[in-house]
Chains A and B, each alone.
Chain A
Amino acid sequence: MPLPCRLLLLLSLLSTAPAALHAQKPDSLRQLDPVAIEAYRLKALAAGQRQEPLAPALLDRFASATLGELLAGAGYAFVRAYSPGGLASPALRGSGAAHTAVLWNGFNLQSPLNGQADLTLFPVWLLGEATLLHGGLGAQIGSGALGGAIVLQTPHAPGPGLRIRALAGAESPGNWQSGLSLQLRHGARSAHTSWIRQQAANRFAYEPPGGARTRQTGAAWQQQGFLHSERWQLGRRQHLQLHLWHQDALRQLPPRARQTDRALRLLAAWTWSGTRSEYTLRAARLHESLRYTDSLLALDELSGGVSWLAEAEALHRIGRRHRIHGGIQASRIRAQADGYGSQAFAQGRLAAFASWQAAWERCTGTLSLRQEQAGGRLLPPMPSLGLTAQLRPGLALRAGAGRMYRLPTFNDRYWRPGGNPDLQSETGWSQELGADLSAASGRWAASAALTAFSSRIDRWIVWLPGSGYWSPANARRVWARGIESQAQAQMQAGKTLLLASLRYAFTRSTHQLALRDGDESLGKQLIYTPAHQAALSAALRRGPWALECLHTWTGRRYTTTDHAGSLPGFLLGGAAASYRLQAGRQLLEIQLRTENLWNVRYQVVAGRPMPLRYLGASLRWEWNRT
């Protein structure tokens, strides 16, 4: 067999598995971690719920991509992606576009105007550490986390030294990416700076339904992001953190619209750490603006908002087994949009939260409660309970239940015409039960996780036609339930490492309330919510070489609430080969890959074509001095 054929065969059979493999370690920890609010908020508060850290190798594999492309490409979540570079909103556990919170160093970045976090505007290169939390997190996070949350933490250099990273990427539809990152730790100071630029001509080939192959036009986009973090250790017990994130994106939206998004986020945190206690004061200013123009319709709509947030939090350990945690958060949001008229609107929010965690020999229990007041209205209390139990080595069970909510957005309340200031918050309950298994022996290791969940959301806000214009109402009730499973294995044979992983999720998310007689959505799956999703990956690493292959299957998505219209399921394949050269302090990695390997014609959202097969290449360079 000629070499290219063998290589192709290998590419189709093997690959670098999404690095979840590296992240999964048998959980034998049954005593409490050191007192640390950051870690506590991330892990302990959501105890009992499914948590998936996005492993560094996965972040490297998608270093030039956006968070939306990563989650969809690696099969971690269904992402409603309008087009490459277009709006990409996550749909965790059958939830809506505004139901996944994105937390950045503890603060929620969902837009107060429309409730969404567009995952295209989160370049992977800037993310640092990322963890996917599944399920409702009303008590732990607050408003907007009904399907789950994506938690982003800016890491700090683990040891003294300097680390420089650079990235250059290109894709055949005319897309380019470049990035630079510096991480420094010197004495009491550590700093992290990252910059990324992504630009895409997006002149990819596609086949419209009933039409001949053509090339996409009017879909170019570009964005730049800059992130800088500082951390100063002030003596033995205190440290101060400052973070700045600036991001701007300019996107053409086919056929003729343009959208400019800008964000400036500033965050400061002071922490005092003792042996039994930790206290944190944090403040943030989050600014976002959006400009949408449509030359044909002579539209030029500007909107934006500023959020001021302040938070005080304490964590205290009582004995060896108990921890209590509590705090308050105050925020003020001011938003203005052409769609609101010339008026700006503001809302003050005040929340108190507390939790208690107890750990016994083999199990841990966490009880949390959050009480929020928004715009002078007191919301119902949001409790949650999480339990984990290590039945035996390699087998752990977890269970979680909690209440969750989402405040109406500014658009919901103030858009003219239609805005409804009398809207109530969406509220609901979620429950889940899961098991984690792991085993290792000599040269191989394997792990698996199985989770069943149920989540009910009442008073789901939906815009409905009224007398002359559309208006939002608390009109829907949705029940999402399903099963999520994943398994991964790795085997070392000499210099060769073989990895494989499989994921499958079944999600049934249905309307439980008819709007009225004649509404045929009752009992039917939500639109753009696939019932079946699967991902299969395989990887082979030998010395400096790595071959990987990743396939995702996304099931049928209905495009109308009565299921009269739907988009067929699609299988996407990708393959990559990389070579890593280590020389002294330097590391150079060259990667070649092909996306949509089987040249599948598909659309995630109706009328929005996605690219046929295309090629990509990237170069990653690292320099370390310790």
Chain B
Amino acid sequence: MKPSIPVLLGAALLAAALSACKPDGAEAELRFTRGVFVLNEGNFLASNATLDFWDETEDSAALDVFERVNGRPLGDVLQSMTLDGSRAYLVVNNSGKIEAVQTKTLESVGTITGLTSPRYLLPLGNTGRAYVSDLAANAISIVDLDALSVTGSIPLPGWSEEMIQIGSDVFVSHQGRPYVYVIDTRTDQVTDSIAAGAGGNSLGLDENGKLWVLCGGDFFTSTPASLHRIDPASRTAERSWTFPAGQFPANLRLNPAGDTVYYLNTDVFAMPVGAAELPAAAFIAAGGASFYALGVHPRERTLYIADAIDYAQRGTVLRYSARGALLDSFKAGIIPGEFVFLE
């Protein structure tokens, strides 16, 4: 039987409608179950940020997965990514937005706009709310993760950076002021400030529940970099270490056991949380490479290190064993700046 014209027309319309559900250029069938997201910042103002995924089930890398799934580029400077159950949030700093996606497919759920220069997003438990730190807004933004909108802000002058929630408090590292700030999530008020060093860039929690903050110092005031171990209960720095002048450490990370602190200071350094002194020798020497990002696999304890090379070409991700032996490497995008592990 020959199909009638109305049937053909109907089929054509249906095909068109189905194809319209997917943006032009989008690629289906990508699934993300277990592996490592590599966040490539891209060049400032070039809008060439990308997201790559190292699939541990396949032992292969899938490049530029956000654009492949959604048919559009991510934007300008991908700063961070937060996994929150079935959702993931991609903070695109210089585009002033956060892309909300399905974690398993990366399909776009929506976009949070109206932000100034967002850095990190921290969901507040199961409240459906999150805090977003910011480089230039002089405030922490409060966002509604269901409505994907900004609902309020908490004044905090200067450049707020990484955040960690302990109980009902959120601890915020600060790049501009020598304090770690405490925000009470019940009142959305800054309730305390803990003296630390200048240029607080990263935070971590150790096995004893102590808060570690790494401060890169301030070149212009010749304030040296420093590392602090803070007791969240008493809100004081129990122990502080000062780096020699001319050093600018960043990217503090803890291993899954929470007994070792890692950080980048040209090379990779490892320091047991009970150590009395800063490590003198590098754990992994850069050997001329431009180490730019550091991640510790939460299960395998392997170290992921990004080499940005000249910051104008695709960087390399190097994988090292927990003992510091090079395992392998793979290529990522322009300026790989952070790793997010999907279990």
Q: Is the CB of A559 within 8 A of B48?
A: yes
Stretch of A104-112, A284-292, A501-509, A517-525 on the interface side: A517-525
Q: How far is the CA of A87 from the CA of B25 in the complex (A)?
A: 32
Cβ contacts under 8 Å, A211 to chain B: 72
Q: Chain A's nearest CB lies how many Å from the CB of B265?
A: 8
A493 at the interface (CB under 8 A from B): no
Q: Is the CB of B313 within 8 A of A519?
A: yes
Contact across chains for B290 and A465 when beta carbons are under 8 A apart:
yes
Knowing A416-B220, A467-B246, A565-B48 touch, does A520 contact B314 (C-beta < 8 A)? yes
- B47 touching A607, Cβ below 8 Å: yes
Minimum distance in angstroms from B113 CB to a CB of chain A: 13
Check A417 for interface membership: any CB of B closer than 8 A: yes
Q: Is B169 an interface residue when CB atoms closer than 8 A count as contact?
A: no
**B252: Cβ under 8 A from any A Cβ:** no
Assess whether B76 is in contact with A519, with CB atoms less than 8 Å apart.
no
Q: Which of chain A's residues 127-154 have a Cβ closer than 8 Å to chain B?
A: none
Check if B292 sits within 8 Å of A560, measured CB to CB.
no
Would you call A210 and B76 a contact (CB within 8 A)? Answer: no
A583 at the interface (CB under 8 A from B): no
A562 to B307, CA, bound (A): 14
Q: Does A296 contact B (CB under 8 A)?
A: yes
A210-B73, A518-B307 as given contacts; A296 in contact with B117, CB under 8 Å: yes
Partner of A607, one of B46, B72, B135, B308: B46
Per-position 1/0 for A267-306, Cβ under 8 A of B: 0000000000000000000000000000011100000000
A521 touches B310 (CB 8 A): yes
What is the chain B residue whose CB lies nearest that of A519? B309
Main secondary structure of the interface of B (DSSP, over half): loop
Q: How far is the CB of B206 from chain A (nearest CB, A)?
A: 25
A516 at the interface (CB under 8 A from B): yes
Main SS at interface, chain A: loop
User: B310 contacts which of A296, A517, A519, A606 (Cβ < 8 Å)?
Assistant: A519
Q: Please report which residues of chain A, range 347-397, place their CB below 8 angstroms from some CB of chain B when the two chains form the complex.
A: none
In angstroms, Cα B220 to Cα A416, docked, is: 8
B11 at the interface (CB under 8 A from A): no
Q: Does A564 contact B (CB under 8 A)?
A: yes
CB of B248 within 8 Å of the partner chain: yes
B72 partner residues in chain A, CB cutoff 8 A: 209-211
In the complex, which residues of chain B have a beta carbon less than 8 angstroms from the beta carbon of A562?
A: 313-314
Do A515 and B248 touch across chains, with their CB atoms under 8 A apart? no
CB distance from A625 to the nearest CB of B (A): 52
- CA of A469 to CA of B76 in the docked complex: distance in angstroms? 21
Given contacts A297-B117, A416-B219, A559-B46, A469 and B313 within 8 Å (CB-CB) = no
Chain A residues with CB under 8 A of B71 = 210
Report the separation of the CA atoms of residues A287 and B222 in the bound assembly, to the nearest whole angstrom. 32
Chain A CB within 8 A of B282 CB: no
A222 close to B (CB within 8 Å): no
Query: Could you tell me if A468 and B247 are in contact, using CB atoms closer than 8 angstroms?
Result: yes
CA distance A565 to B64 in the complex (A): 12
Q: In the bound complex, do residue B308 and residue A465 qualify as a contact, i.e. CB atoms below 8 Å apart?
A: yes
Interchain CA distance A374-B141 in the complex, whole Å: 52
In B285-333, the 8 Å CB interface with A consists of 288-290, 292, 307-314, 316, 333
Question: Is B337 engaged at the interface, CB distance under 8 Å to the other chain?
Answer: no
Residue of B whose beta carbon sits closest to that of A211? B72
Which B residues are CB-close (under 8 A) to A527? 312
Name the A residues within 8 Å of B288 (CB-CB): 516-517
In the complex, what residues of A have CB within 8 A of residue B116's CB?
Answer: 296
Residues of B within 8 A of A518 (CB): 289, 307, 309, 316
A210: contacting residue among B25, B117, B248, CB under 8 A: B25
**Inter-subunit contact A297/B48 (CB<8 Å):** no
Question: Within residues 198 to 229 of chain B, which ones have a CB less than 8 A from any CB in chain A?
Answer: 216, 219-220
The interface bits of chain B over 86-111 (1 if a CB of A lies within 8 angstroms of the residue's CB, else 0) are 00000000000000000000000000
Find residues 206-237 in chain A having any chain B CB closer than 8 Å to their own CB: 209-211
Does A464 touch B at the CB level, under 8 Å? yes
Judge whether B173 is part of the interface by a CB distance below 8 angstroms: no
CB-nearest residue of chain B to A295: B136
B45 at the interface (CB under 8 A from A): yes
Q: Does A238 contact B (CB under 8 A)?
A: no
- State how many residues of chain B have any CB contact under 8 Å with chain A: 40
Proximity string of chain A (463-484) to chain B, C-beta cutoff 8 Å, 1 when within and 0 when not: 0110111000000000000000
C-alpha spacing A516/B310, complex, angstroms: 10
Q: Is A561 an interface residue (CB 8 A)?
A: yes
> Which chain B residue lies CB-closest to A560?
B313
Does B334 touch A at the CB level, under 8 Å?
yes
Cβ contact within 8 Å between B314 and A468:
no
Q: Which of B172-198 contact A (CB under 8 A)?
A: none
Indicate if the CB atoms of B247 and A560 lie closer than 8 Å: no
CB distance from B289 to the nearest CB of A (A): 7
Q: Which residues of B contact A469 (CB under 8 A)?
A: 219, 248
Residue B255 lies at the interface, judged by CB distance under 8 Å to chain A: no
> A467 to nearest B CB, angstroms?
5
Give A558 Cβ to nearest chain B Cβ, in Å.
10
Let me know if B247 and A467 touch, CB within 8 A.
Answer: yes
Rounded to whole angstroms, the CA-CA distance of A518 and B287 in the bound complex is 12
B266 in contact (CB, < 8 A)? yes
Instruction: Tell which of B47, B219, B265, B314 touches A417, judged by Cβ atoms closer than 8 Å.
Output: B219
Among B48, B136, B220, which residue has its beta carbon within 8 angstroms of that of A606?
B48
Say whether A561 contacts B312, CB under 8 Å.
yes
> Chain A: which residue is nearest B138 at the CB level?
A298
Interface string of B242-266 (1 = CB under 8 A from A): 0000111010000000000000011
Closest to A605 in B: B46
Cβ-neighbour of B313 out of A464, A468, A521, A606 (below 8 A): A521
Evaluate whether A468 and B248 lie within 8 angstroms (CB atoms) in the complex, with A515-B309, A521-B310, A607-B76 already known.
yes
Interface pair A297/B135, CB less than 8 Å apart: yes
Measured in the bound complex, the distance between the Cα atoms of B76 and A607 in whole Å is 9
Which residues of chain B (158-176) have a CB below 8 Å from chain A? none
Contact, CB under 8 Å: A565 / B334: yes
Instruction: Give CA–CA (A560, B219) in the complex, Å.
Output: 30
In whole angstroms, how far apart are the Cα atoms of A306 and B260 in the complex? Answer: 54
**Cβ contact within 8 Å between B45 and A464:** no
Over the window 42-81 of chain A, the binary record of Cβ atoms lying under 8 Å from chain B Cβ atoms (1 yes, 0 no) is 0000000000000000000000000000000000000000
Give the complex CA separation of A606 and B312 in angstroms: 13
B-side contacts of A417, CB under 8 Å: 219
Residue of A nearest to B94 (CB): A255
Chain B hits for A521, CB < 8 A: 310, 312-313
Give residues 419-472 of A contacting B (CB, 8 Å).
462, 464-465, 467-469
Looking at the assembled complex, report how far the CB atom of A370 sits from the nearest CB atom of chain B, in whole angstroms.
33
User: What is the bound-complex CA distance between A520 and B45, given in angstroms?
Assistant: 23
Q: Considering only CB atoms, which chain A residue lies closest to B267 in the complex?
A: A467
Q: A559–B48 Cα gap in the complex (Å)?
A: 10
Q: Which residues of A contact B43 (CB under 8 A)?
A: 606
- Interface-central residue, B47, B309, B333, by most chain A CB under 10 Å: B309
Residues of A within 8 A of B266 (CB): 467
Flag if A465 contacts B76 (CB, 8 Å).
Answer: no
Nearest CB on B from A606, distance (A):
5
Verify A516–B289 contact, CB threshold 8 A: yes
State whether B248 touches A467 (Cβ < 8 A): yes
A584→B311 CA distance, assembly (Å):
63
Query: Considering the chains assembled together, what is the distance between the CA atoms of A467 and B45 in angstroms?
Result: 23
Instruction: Give the docked Cα–Cα distance between A606 and B334 (Å).
Output: 13
User: Which residues 567-626 of A sit at the B interface, judged by CB distance below 8 A?
Assistant: 606-608
Contact B314 A607 (CB under 8 A): no
With most chain A CB atoms within 10 A of its CB, the pick from B23, B76, B310 is B310
Query: Are A607 and B334 touching (Cβ within 8 A)?
Result: no
User: CA of A395 to CA of B136 in the docked complex: distance in angstroms?
Assistant: 64
- Residues of A contacting B73 with CB < 8 Å? 209-210
- Name 4 extra pairs, CB < 8 A, besides A521-B310, A560-B334: A210-B71, A211-B72, A521-B312, A564-B314
Q: Across chains A and B, which 3 residue pairs bring their CB atoms closest together, nearest first? A: A468-B248, A210-B72, A562-B313
Residues of A within 8 A of B (CB): 209-211, 296-298, 341, 416-417, 462, 464-465, 467-469, 515-521, 527, 559-562, 564-565, 606-608
Provide a sorted-by-A list of 6 A–B residue pairs whose CB atoms are within 8 angstroms. Answer: A296-B136, A297-B136, A465-B311, A468-B248, A516-B288, A561-B310
